[in-house]
Amino acid sequence: MTPRDTSYDAVMNRRPQIMEKALGLDYSRFDQGPMAFDYEGMMQQTGYDLDEVRAVQRMTGVGDTPLLELRNITRMVRSISPPGKGGRIFVKDEAANPSGSFKARRAALSVHEAKKQGYKGVIAATSGNYGAAVASQACMQGINCIIVQELFDSRMVGQPEIMEKGRKCEALGAEVVQLTVGPELFYLMLLLLEETGYFNASLYTPYGIAGIETLGYELAEQVRERCGRDPDVVVVTHAGGGNMTGTARGLRKAGCHDTEMVGASVDLSGLHMASDEDFNRKSFTTGHTGFGVPFATWPDRADVPRNAARSLRYMDRYVLLHQGEVFYVTELLAVLEGIERGPAGNTSLAAAVAVAQEMDQDQILVVQETEYTGAGKHPTAQLTFARDNGVEVRRGDPSENVPGERIVIPEHPDQIKPRDFSMDRMRTSLIRNSVKNSNLDTLGAREVEFLCEETSRDRDFVLGVLEELGVSVNS
């Protein structure tokens, strides 16, 4: 028997076969050409409707999390808003899920499907809360779990927030494989999937996104019950795009077609996420532009052939925040509301503090999630680690923040001023990337229609971008 070639190139070339076996899902059946594919058909392939997903999640205590009104923060926002402004701020407290974040919703459906199909275990490549969620659900379902993390730089110095999440994964019974930053993460995951025959519990499968739809649907139900109307704005921390995609789809299934979807990320421009030098000079491991922009503009960079998280189909506005603003709001939530939560959800809360100032007082803004906090996630740990890595930390004007060099924490809430990132700039990048990666010189009607769906823009916009790119279109 010829030994299996486990070199990097050989394993990466076997990716389509490994993925199909590890998911029981043939992505090629949805292809409509080199670029276009049937997105809704792929989502329906899970075989679960919304009620069935909710039933699966309830079996392991996932979902039905409380909606909390942040009355003290709302009063504070109104004190710094123009007369009559300052929308009511609510938060969906996803820290109430078994693993402490909304990602339990993704994991519940993925692990349930793995067990249903007869897999003996699940694997996920993640340094975040999703690992803990998969570990928790695998424990409840009685199957094995391996979590693969990028944790260290080349000095073997680990990022405290990722170390905290790794600790939680191990506490929940998972085997945790820890790596230095670099291109090995997905290679090793593919190798482990091939060796073990386990299920790929990726963040980016249709199961992972369908699991989040229940969050948006619940949110709509709770706001209507409490306020007698739909939410005007929902703010979502944006990283890989699944959070935005699933929540928006759930809201639409609940009939909330006019709710504005606002994405929020920490601005880490200038830092390269795969750089050994930059790895420990960033104080946020998720919810930042290093994921938010690349995944929005080219979703299929993920570990599956077709990513089910496609945020530009759903996002209406994208705002960026400085690191210090999120640390400030983390403390604000604790001292004003008596709620201590982790950094990712507080990214969207920081955006909400500013966005609510633009809204009328009878309007409703919902911060879509919270997450648990812990030793490595706490601002004290993050800021101490930043100082240890040569980053200056001080109070002052947050606009003086420089990613990887200086974290400036506001002195007053009216200094929190998120900056809008151009949606059309991201849409243009998505179209450019789609053309480049499909190797097409000329697009047909279906490709143009697909790009309209991907960017949530009309045909004239897409044709205008294609003309600028010098791409011809068949009439």
In this predicted structure, the answer to whether residue 162 has a pLDDT above a threshold of 70 is yes
Return the pLDDT at 375. Answer: 85
Distance in angstroms (rounded) separating the CA atoms of residues 271 and 322: 13
Instruction: Show which of 421, 441, 463 is a domain's final residue.
Output: 421
Do 37 and 164 lie in one domain? The reply is yes
pLDDT above 90 as % of the chain? 82
Q: What is the pLDDT of residues 96-114, one digit of tens each?
A: 999 999 999 999 999 999 9
Distance in angstroms (rounded) separating the CA atoms of residues 409 and 5: 51
Mean pLDDT calculated for residue range 258-279:
92
HEC sequence for 209-267: HHHHHHHHHHHHHHHHHHHCCCCCEEEEECCCCHHHHHHHHHHHHCCCCCCEEEEEEEC
- Residue 6 CA to its chain's centroid (Å): 31
Do 342 and 430 lie in one domain? The reply is no
Return the pLDDT at 418. Answer: 87
pTM metric for this prediction? 0.96
In this predicted structure, the answer to whether residue 475 has a pLDDT above a threshold of 90 is no
Distance in angstroms (rounded) separating the CA atoms of residues 134 and 104: 7
Do 341 and 414 lie in one domain? The reply is yes
Return the pLDDT at 387. Answer: 96
In this predicted structure, the answer to whether residue 324 has a pLDDT above a threshold of 90 is yes
Q: Mean pLDDT, the chain, as a whole number?
A: 94
In this predicted structure, the answer to whether residue 26 has a pLDDT above a threshold of 90 is no
Mean pLDDT calculated for residue range 290-318:
95
Assign 114 to helix, strand or coil.
helix
Distance in angstroms (rounded) separating the CA atoms of residues 49 and 66: 23
Mean pLDDT calculated for residue range 5-11:
90
Q: What is the pLDDT of residues 185-218, one digit of tens each?
A: 888 999 999 999 999 999 999 999 999 999 999 9
Do 430 and 401 lie in one domain? The reply is no
Do 366 and 451 lie in one domain? The reply is no
User: Residue 210: which CATH number?
Assistant: 3.40.50.1100
Please spell the DSSP secondary structure of 283-326, one letter per residue: S-SSSBHHHHHHHHH-GGGSSSSS-S--GGGT-SEEEEE-HHHH
In this predicted structure, the answer to whether residue 255 has a pLDDT above a threshold of 80 is yes
- Residue 443 tokens read as 């697009």
Where does residue 29 rank: exposed (0-12), middle (13-18), buried (19+ CB within 10 A)?
exposed
Distance in angstroms (rounded) separating the CA atoms of residues 53 and 219: 15
Q: In what order do the strands lie in the sheet with 199-200?
A: 175-180, 144-152, 121-125, 199-200
Instruction: Show which of 402, 421, 440 is a domain's final residue.
Output: 421
- The CA dihedral of 76, 82, 84, 90, to the nearest 10 degrees, is -40
Using a CB cutoff of 8 Å and minimum separation of 24, what contacts does 72-78 make?
72/336, 72/337, 73/332, 73/333, 73/336, 73/337, 73/353, 74/356, 76/332, 76/336, 76/413, 77/353, 77/356, 77/357, 77/413, 78/361
In this predicted structure, the answer to whether residue 2 has a pLDDT above a threshold of 70 is no
Pairing of strands 419-420, 317-321: antiparallel
Do 312 and 387 lie in one domain? The reply is yes
Return the pLDDT at 185. Answer: 85
Do 52 and 165 lie in one domain? The reply is yes
Distance in angstroms (rounded) separating the CA atoms of residues 444 and 320: 36
Return the pLDDT at 113. Answer: 96
pLDDT-based confidence at 1, cuts 50/70/90? low
Find out whether 214 and 57 touch, Cβ atoms under 8 Å: yes
- Provide the terminal-to-terminal Cα distance of the chain, rounded to the nearest Å: 54
Q: Which residue has the tokens 């999937």?
A: 193
Do 444 and 341 lie in one domain? The reply is no
- Report the candidate in 124, 60, 122, 125 with the shortest Cα–Cα distance to residue 97: 60
Q: Which residue has the tokens 């930390």?
A: 393
Return the pLDDT at 183. Answer: 78
Distance in angstroms (rounded) separating the CA atoms of residues 304 and 295: 13
What's the one-letter identity of residue 420? D
Do 336 and 427 lie in one domain? The reply is no
Mean pLDDT calculated for residue range 385-403:
95
Return the pLDDT at 283. Answer: 86
Do 338 and 467 lie in one domain? The reply is no
Find out whether 271 and 150 touch, Cβ atoms under 8 Å: no
Do 329 and 453 lie in one domain? The reply is no
Instruction: Show which of 377, 396, 421 is a domain's final residue.
Output: 421
- Bridge partners of 199, per DSSP, are 122
Q: What is the pLDDT of residues 42-68, one digit of tens each?
A: 999 999 999 999 999 999 999 999 999
In this predicted structure, the answer to whether residue 240 has a pLDDT above a threshold of 70 is yes
Mean pLDDT calculated for residue range 252-260:
98
**By residue range, what is the domain housing residue 233?**
1-421
Q: How many domains would you assign to the chain?
A: 2
In this predicted structure, the answer to whether residue 254 has a pLDDT above a threshold of 90 is yes
Do 395 and 428 lie in one domain? The reply is no
